[in-house]
Each structure stands twice: as structure tokens, then as C-alpha cells.
Amino acid sequence: MPDLLLELFSEEIPARMQARAEADLARMMVDSLRQGGLDVGATHSSSGPRRIVFIAERVPPQSAATVEERKGPRVGAPPKAVEGFLRAAGLKGLDECQVVKDPKGDFYLAKSEKPGRPAASIIAEAVPEIVRKFPWPKSMRWAGVASAGSDLCIRFSACSTISPSSSRSMASRAATSPMAIVS
């Protein structure tokens, strides 16, 4: 599984703010990745006067498929309640539901399967939101590149800034040419 390197460039970050910024970026990225269904390995963060870096090891290529269960009305409920449940669950008829026994009686249960999403799209959605909500005590200007593995860059835009089409990030400093955006 590839690793993820997110490097955010900014205006000068005062030394007293760097440790907190590292912790905030790590917390927000891990929360976003988990919310997106990506269970990553170890994470690290680092910072310098003009950048904050987040690294996640062993990022899966996509989130796992999930099954969502929605409890409906009791069997024998008024037709309006059943129709509302079917509409909310996106089902055409009761034949697509299961009947489940409960101490309070039998009720309908709708199951829907959601396929996994590519990690690149989850990360591309998470980063702009994190940049917009980043808890700074003063305003900052941002530019950024998110890269996963040694050969994949994820393009995103945040706060009217579009990530560049290539990067010479920490993961590729030894490379003779920059990594290119492939998504």
C-alpha cells in the first residue's frame, strides 16, 4: 500500500505555532481519512517556517464497501408510513426489504450496499475542507500538494489556490524530475 505525503506551504509560521499546527493537521487528516473509510497505518507530522507536512503510511487504494441498514416501520403499518420508508430508502417495493423480528414486533429492514471509493477522491475532498477549517489564530495564505506514494499526485483547490501540476516534495527530493499529477 502506498504512503500519503501532504505538504502545505504557507506564509511564515511563527515557531510558537508550529507544534500546534502539526497536531491539528494530523488530527484533522486522520479524522477525514477515517470518515472517508480509509484505515491508514502510522501517521507523522512535521513543520518548518513555511510548511506543514503530514505523512500517513499504508493508505489503502480505496475505502471498503459498506452495507447500510435502515430500520423501517412495523409490518402492518399504515401505507403512507411504508411509502415514506421505501422512498427514503430508495426502494421500489417491500419485496426488496427483509422482515426482522424484534421484541416489539416485526419490522421492515432495508439494506443497501455502497461500493468503496478511490483514496484519491477521498483525499481530494478532504484537503480543501481541512485548509478552510484549519484553526489558525491568524489568517494564512495557502498553496498545497497532496501526494500518495512516490508516483501519484492528487490535484485539489482550496481558498482560491489550485495545487500545482507537479511537485518536488520530501518523498521525491532525490528524484531528478518532479512527480506529475495523474488524477
pLDDT digits (tens, 9 = 90+) for 104-143: 889 999 998 889 999 989 998 898 888 888 887 766 555 5
The confidence score (pLDDT) of residue 175 equals: 44
The confidence score (pLDDT) of residue 163 equals: 52
Find out whether 181 and 166 touch, Cβ atoms under 8 Å: yes
Query: How many Å apart are CA 163 and CA 171, to the nearest integer?
Result: 17
The confidence score (pLDDT) of residue 138 equals: 66
Query: How many Å apart are CA 179 and CA 152, to the nearest integer?
Result: 7
The confidence score (pLDDT) of residue 78 equals: 93
Cα angle 159-62-115, degrees, rounded to a multiple of 5: 105
Length of the chain: 183
The confidence score (pLDDT) of residue 164 equals: 52
Query: How many Å apart are CA 174 and CA 183, to the nearest integer?
Result: 23
pLDDT digits (tens, 9 = 90+) for 46-60: 998 888 999 999 999
The confidence score (pLDDT) of residue 30 equals: 96
Residue 97 has pLDDT above 80, yes or no: yes
Nearest to 143 by CA among 151, 155, 135, 133: 155
Q: What structural domains does the chain harbor?
A: 4-62+117-180 (3.30.70), 66-114 (no CATH)
> The pTM is what?
0.65
